[in-house]
Structure 1
């Protein structure tokens, strides 16, 4: 259509092979959900009639996790991706220390040893 998908390129170039991305951008072909999954652009493909139940299953699992651990983990996942290996390890070590200092971390460990579900507070 006479334009180039500049902005999405920054995201996709970190997720899929460069030559595949270039072909996608140059040809502009539509890709199937299965093709997108095989490239790792989407994590899963579900039939339309199972979409709501699949989303519910995933969200039900996520709400049982520590919100602060999820936030710190997600943030560190993205921040370390462009660091060299040694810098990433040092950064992740500091983030691991932060996670272990949270109340949720202590609650998770305690719940594990007491063989019960943790009651996270997001602190």
Structure 2
């Protein structure tokens, strides 16, 4: 439905999830985050989906961050202190655990929580006209909820500068600092995203799935723990149907017919 806060569209094995509130620059509040979680869970559970694209409606903003006007009723800066967990953390946790690669289609500015969403994606493509910032200090707050994801992507000194000054960075700076993979002109954004999804949908689903799982499992281990984990996972991947098909296709010089198993 066009009046939904979040849209989910599946085509050619790609699930596109759109934050659909362009008039307000696609902010995050409780109803929107709950809808994002529902859409991500549906896409992750759909065997026909091999890759997920996350974007925002319109061309002004990817996501403006926390909805300041939501107040105590659905705003991300408040919550029930008697209950563990927070709905924004629930979203980022789900993105971390998602079995499918998530590509961020950064169509416009990514502010506050929106910059956290960019970093929570596995791959990000940004329009050259977009900017990214964490301006929370300008209103007496600090970007706590998005810090875990951003610390894993952005170098320490750059991230602290971003948080402490609250100043925006251009798309080219975001590329230079490793926040996004590619920057394109706005009218070339879809072509680059489609190029990436076309590549991913021709790769082994089981290899991508188990590979992403392994990467996220190992990222906070010691190097010795990583060694032990890696040496148990490789034989597991090698025993999949996709691996056997991949070996056969390579020897027979043909295109693999993946089953995702």
- Residue 51 (structure 1) aligns with: 189
SS of residue in 2 equivalent to 1:76: helix
Runs (4 or more) in structure 1 with deviation over 6 Å come to none
Q: How far does residue 75 in structure 1 lie from its aligned partner after superposition?
A: 1.0
Q: How far does residue 47 in structure 1 lie from its aligned partner after superposition?
A: 1.1
CA separation in 1, counterparts of 2:177 and 2:146? 15
CA separation in 1, counterparts of 2:193 and 2:152? 25
Q: How far does residue 65 in structure 1 lie from its aligned partner after superposition?
A: 0.7
More strand per residue: 1 or 2? 2
CA separation in 2, counterparts of 1:55 and 1:20? 26
- Residue 34 (structure 2) aligns with: none
Unmatched tracts of structure 2, length 5 or more: 1-138
TM-score, scaled relative to structure 2: 0.46
1:93 and 2:231 aligned: yes
- Residue 38 (structure 1) aligns with: 176
Unmatched tracts of structure 1, length 5 or more: none
SS of residue in 2 equivalent to 1:45: strand
CA separation in 2, counterparts of 1:34 and 1:71? 30
List per-residue Cα deviations over 1:11-42 (Å, max 9, x = no partner). 11122221211110011111111111111111
Q: 1:9 aligns with which of 147, 154, 158?
A: 147
Q: 2:199 aligns with which of 43, 61, 68?
A: 61
- Residue 78 (structure 1) aligns with: 216
SS of residue in 1 equivalent to 2:236: helix
Bigger relative CO (Cα 8 Å, ≥ 6 apart): 1
CA RMSD of aligned residues (A): 0.9
List per-residue Cα deviations over 1:42-68 (Å, max 9, x = no partner). 111111111111111111111111111
Aligned pairs, how many?
Answer: 123
Q: How far does residue 82 in structure 1 lie from its aligned partner after superposition?
A: 1.0
SS of residue in 1 equivalent to 2:254: coil
TM-score, scaled relative to structure 1: 0.95
Q: How far does residue 96 in structure 1 lie from its aligned partner after superposition?
A: 1.0
SS of residue in 1 equivalent to 2:183: coil
